[in-house]
Amino acid sequence: MANEYGSRVLRKDMNGPDVVELQIRLAGFRGTLPDGDFGSGTELQVQKFQQDVMGMAQPTRVVDRATFEAIDAFAQKYPIDFEALRCPCGHCSGFGNGRFRDTYVPGGEGREQFNHYEYPGIHRLLLWAVRAVFHDLPEHRFSFSSGYRCSIDNQQRGRTTTNHRGKAVDLDIALQPGESKRDDAEKCNAVRGRIVELSNAQVGWAARNRKSLEPPDIAPTWVHYDVRQYDRIYLADDFFCRDLAGLNRLTPITC
């Protein structure tokens, strides 16, 4: 494939599918749109990764072989537990059944928060951003408290929300002995603040094409992270995955 990820050194003003893949993998380091254009936002992503993960005092902002290999090593260091992300309904594939494409809650046509579609997995950009949370906040022990929730699971539990049909995950923070719900809420609030600072996320859903966190009045003792504000082009089926191989998409580094 032309411009396969890892086949050429990447730098500012380049474009192509390998740049899209780079933007996905560095989604938690400030983050930008996975549009395939290596602009100033992508350059900042690379700079932050080279500083924060590779420990470079003078980042090159160029994605050479060493940077590609460091991104692969980052993925190996922070695996994602897909069993914890599977839908608990007991009837679907674990990641929905692909139903309800282009079907919306009445009155919410065209708005992603009302989209009934069961996306084919969890959005890759979101899970790579979660890896950055694990890296940036090693003082906390995180687990997934909620991942995929298909339409059947919603019926079983009397829910109507659709974010968890591939566009959202909930993170739980382990408490230390003697800590209370109040401590839990304070930790979650602090973590949200750090994600906003480090990953260019927003609390709430005011801006388009930004990663979003539920505010504390909705998610007091967990951290809800989603991509529902992204335009439809960035929610195409190919952006979703069901397992670690689909998330990592490891390819030979040949540049």
pLDDT tens for 194-214 read 999 999 999 999 999 999 999
Domains of the chain by start residue, with CATH? 17-77 (1.10.101.10), 82-241 (3.30.1380)
Question: Residue 250: which residues within 8 A CB-CB, separation 6 or more?
Answer: 72, 75
Stretch 43-55: mean pLDDT: 98
Q: Which residue type is seen at 176?
A: Q
Radius of gyration of the CA atoms of the chain, in A: 18
Average pLDDT over residues 152-171: 92
Across the chain, mean pLDDT equals 95
Q: Helix (H, G, I), strand (E, B), or coil: what is residue 146?
A: strand
> Taking the model in full, what pTM does it have?
0.96
What is the pLDDT at residue 159? 85
pLDDT higher than threshold 80 for residue 36: yes
Could you tell me the pLDDT band of residue 62, with boundaries at 50, 70 and 90? very high
Contact between 142 and 133 under an 8 Å Cβ cutoff? The reply is: yes
The stretch 77-96 carries a mean pLDDT of 96
Q: Note the pLDDT of residue 149.
A: 96
Q: What is the mean pLDDT of residues 109-131?
A: 95
How far apart are alpha carbons 70 and 97 in whole angstroms?
35
Stated as kind and residue range, the H or E segment containing 203 is: strand 202-203
Query: What does the block give as tokens for 55?
Result: 């420990």
In which band, very low, low, confident or very high, does the pLDDT at 24 lie, cut at 50, 70 and 90? very high
pLDDT class of 103 with cuts at 50, 70, 90:
confident
pLDDT band at 1 (very low <50, low <70, confident <90, very high): low
Residue with more model confidence, 106 or 67: 67
Per-residue pLDDT at 153: 93
For residue 207, what are the CA distances in angstroms to 26, 45, 211, 227, 231?
20, 20, 9, 11, 11
